[in-house]
Amino acid sequence: MTSKTAKAADLILWDQPDEFTKFSRPSMNVFDQWESFVRLDDVHCASCANTVRSALSVLNGVDSVDVNVGSRQARVVWRNQQTKPSVWLSALENVGFPARPLGQVQSIAGEKSASKAALWRAGIALLCMMQVMMYAWAEYVADPADLPADQIQLLRWAQLIISLPVLFFCCQPFFKGALRDLRDFRIGMDVPVAIGMLVSFAVSATGTLLPTGVFGSEVYFDSFTMFVSFLLIGRWLEQNLRANTTEAMISALDRLPENALKLLPDGSTVRIRTADLKLGDLICVGPGDMIQADGTIVQGRTTVDEALLTGESYPIPKEAGATVIAGSANLSGMIAVQIERLGLETRLGQIEQLVREVANSKPRLAQMADQVAKPFLVIVILLAITAAGWWWSESPAKALMAAVAVLVVTCPCALSLSVPMAGLATAGTLIKQGVLIRNFDSLERLAKVDTFLFDKTGTLTEDDYVLAQVVTFRINQFEAYAWAAQLAKNSLHPLSRAIVSAAELRLASSQLNGVFAPPVLEFVEWEEIAGRGIRAVYLDADAQPIELKLGSQKFCRGNELKGLGEVDSASIRAENSPRVKVFLADVTGVIATFSFDEKIRPDAKQTVNRLDQLDLQVRIVSGDLIANVQHLAAALGVKDSIAECHPEAKLSVIRHLQNEGRRVAMVGDGVNDSPVLAQADVSISFSNAAPIARASADLVLTGQRLAPIVQAVIQSRRMIRIMIQNLTWAFVYNLVCVPLAFIGLLPAWAAGLGMAFSSILVVANSWRLTRI
Amino acid sequence: MDILFLLIPLSVVIALFIVAGFWWAVDRNQFVNLDEEGQRIVDED
């Protein structure tokens, strides 16, 4: 088998669902569509990315391709019926960009080996450069008559031989890249540089071998090796910084232990691989170990540290019945955990998916920069040719070296690389502080936001309510609890959950005393209407449909206080406290009210203050009653608030603000908010919010605090500033240096130094974003 | 100065050996974790 068919046979292995699910996940919207993540080691500029994209988009069954140059990763969206991984993986091979499926461990190992190769090349180039300089020095300092001709030749030969490793090993990436680009008729970043390298070596070689030839007798081996060294140092630093940001991002989440202690039915334990765990297994986690999966504690009590996910490092006590998450550290006691979610399904896994998605998306500024980079490179080559033509009459060697200087000094990498780097660095920093972003556009929009809208329930207040009081009319307390709990059982709303848990407590004790047996209602209809309540119908003993409603006062209004005595209505109206109230009603009217106390998040006031200081207008928009909302607004120091807002009303508030030219960020939580979140310029939600809201939000808070929002705003503004700084530098630098090179004032080594310095500067500037 | 005709080619050969030595070291991952190597002495294992 030739190596090609061997490779093809390898790739076919990825077509098995068991295999491709290791680096792919099914798409959320479309049936049979998959998203795969692969690593492309050889992509390092915009035109490489273009080559990859065009190679794959022509394939039948590939829906889209996203390539991120900064992280060297690609996301391929494809249909299982129409194509297979082996098809597009071999297409990538054929076009010169072999791809490696991105499993969890591979991404980090890949970065490390690329970093190693870059170091090797830079090191050898430096060594050779120093040696060449040593030999060249003699000719520099000698008077014309000092050195006999044969010694000059000897020294030049020495330079040539030492430059050979540089040409053949160190320059390889540039030549490979250039060849690839030219094969596809593209001018990539490597083409000018590769031409420069070849030309300068050729001129120097002919100067040594044919001193009387047309190219004169000057040699430039020292310039050649020097600029190659500088370029390679620049590349190595870039590589390291890139590895650091993506590694920080992914490995922060990638530290699950390889093995776990499985608890067998007979009480003994066996050590198995974490990968072999199944749902429902019991695992034993001792103090000091990391928990391998999401699950519930069935035995034991302990404290855990969930800092990996929430950014808050304090011990959280957990007892039997409490849930724990994969990636948290077990601190004090031994526990047995029943596994509920594994691998990609765990919160850790979900967050990691989001992180991968981010690593593959591209800031809009970067796309703009790519567009400029393409014609820019063509112009550079034309300028180089012009420079050569300009100086040819004076001295062909000088002409060629001027051309080399032009080719080498330009730094399109500042355009194509710096912006994605800045984005990645920001995303990585934000993740450590507890904010996940979906894509970079949302960060760019966040930087321009001037208004912040907060939902109340579950956002400014914590998810939990405590049932404070139950007032009933015409039924007794137990019936109220029982019916309300049955209605609320399937709802995720925080109030429903509070009712259910309070009811469980209350009814459990009554059941033990034999006082009351809660009826089990079988609902023939059950619906939850966002923002209003739950409506259900059950059949009573005579098979008559009985409708029950549990919800806001307006919702139950249809069943308004009909038939209630004066006393009862008065007592309802008197209950005008700022508590949240939920009403239980049947056809005769309201039969019970439940009053709740809600908890305000501890850092809500501080967050509002800091947003204020950042010149952001803060408002509360809530579906709750005016009294409650005003109470909260006063407590937090928010001047504007809108209450009793249905989701449609919230939508129109946002639209109205946007029509005024404002940029709106919405912080929300819960089923109510998802269309509203989509309308806002930037949407933020908590990660344990109802699943729909989480899926639409641009930014997801992994912890329980609001403060990271402020950080996100600050960082996004910094990111834009730094991206603009980088682009400005790129333009100014090229504008100044290219004419200098054209005129011949820039020797080749200075050109190399300039290019390396420029790309290092830009990358280091982006690195500032990793510091808070 | 005829000795130069020996010394210079000799130095070229030595330089090439050094280059090969550096490549060997990088290939064996000796430059990967510069901080960890110092730590290794203090580790329990």
Chain B: residues touching A (Cβ < 8 Å): 1, 4-5, 8-9, 11-12, 15-16, 18-19, 22-23, 26-27, 29, 31-32
Q: What angle, 0 to 180 degrees and rounded to 10, lies between the N-to-C axes of helices A172-183 and A190-209?
A: 120
Contacts of A84 (CB under 8 A, 6+ apart): A14, A15
The stretch A115-139 carries a mean pLDDT of 87
User: Could you tell me if A43 and A360 are in contact, meaning their C-beta atoms sit under 8 angstroms apart?
Assistant: no
Q: Percentage of chain A surpassing pLDDT 90? A: 6
How far is residue A555's CA from residue A107's CA, in Å, rounded to a whole number?
Answer: 53
Please give the Cα distance from A227 to A58 (Å, whole number): 39
Average pLDDT, chain A: 79
Does the pLDDT of residue A251 top 60, yes or no?
Answer: no
- The residues with which A545 forms a beta bridge, in sequence order, are A539
pLDDT in tens, A400-416: 888 888 888 887 666 67
Torsions phi, psi for A766 (to 5 deg): -65, -35
Residue A229 and residue A250: Cα distance in Å, rounded?
31
Residues from chain B that touch A163, judged by Cβ atoms under 8 A, are none
Specify whether the CB–CB gap between A480 and A691 falls below 8 A. Answer: no
A443 in Cβ contact with A698 (< 8 Å): no
| Interface check A510 vs B, CB under 8 A | no
Cβ proximity of A156 and A136 under 8 Å:
no
Between CA A257 and CA A234 the distance in angstroms is: 36
A139 strand-pairing partners: none
- Note the ipTM here: 0.80
Task: List, as ranges, residues 112-131 from A with C-beta within 8 Å of B.
Answer: 112, 116, 119-120, 123-124, 127-128, 131
| The total number of residues written for chain A in this structure | 772
Set of chain A residues whose Cβ sits within 8 Å of the Cβ of B5: 154
Element (H, E) at B35: helix B34-40
pLDDT recorded at residue B6: 92
Residues in B touching A151 (Cβ below 8 Å): 1, 4
DSSP A772: -
∠ CA A676-A677-A678 to the nearest 5 degrees?
90
Identify whether the C-beta of residue A412 lies closer than 8 Å to the C-beta of residue A754.
no
Question: Cβ distance A455 to A706 under 8 Å?
Answer: no
- Cβ A22 vs Cβ A36: under 8 Å: no
d(CA A522, CA A676): 34
Average pLDDT over residues A724-741: 87
**pLDDT for position A673:** 65
Q: What angle do CA A295, A481, A518 make, to 5 degrees?
A: 85
pLDDT recorded at residue A717: 92
Distance CA A141, CA A120 (A): 32
Are A506 and A518 in contact by the 8 Å Cβ rule? The answer is no
- If one counts every other C-beta atom within 10 angstroms of the C-beta of residue A50, the result is 18
Q: What percent of chain A has pLDDT over 70?
A: 83
Name the least confident of A41-50, A155-164, A637-646. Answer: A41-50
Question: Quick check: A567 pLDDT over 70?
Answer: no
Average confidence score pLDDT of chain B:
77
Task: Kindly report the nearest CA distance between residue A714 and chain B, in angstroms.
Answer: 33
For residue A60, give the DSSP letter: T
Please determine, for residue A467, whether its predicted confidence score (pLDDT) is greater than 50: yes
- Please answer yes or no on whether B26 and A161 come within 8 Å at the CB atom: no
Q: What is the pLDDT of residues A501-544, one digit of tens each?
A: 888 888 777 766 666 666 777 788 888 877 778 888 888 778 88
Coil, helix or strand for A262?
strand
Which of B1, B2, B5, B12 to mutate: most A Cβ within 10 Å?
A: B12
Q: Is the pLDDT of residue A561 over 50?
A: no
Read off the pLDDT of residues A269-314 as tens digits, 9 standing for 90 and up: 888 877 778 888 889 888 777 888 888 898 888 888 776 555 555 6
Helix (H) / strand (E) element for A471: namely strand A461-472
CA-CA distance, A32 to A665, in Å (whole number)?
Answer: 34
Size of interface A-B (CB pairs under 8 A): 43
Is the model more confident about A261 or about A312?
A261
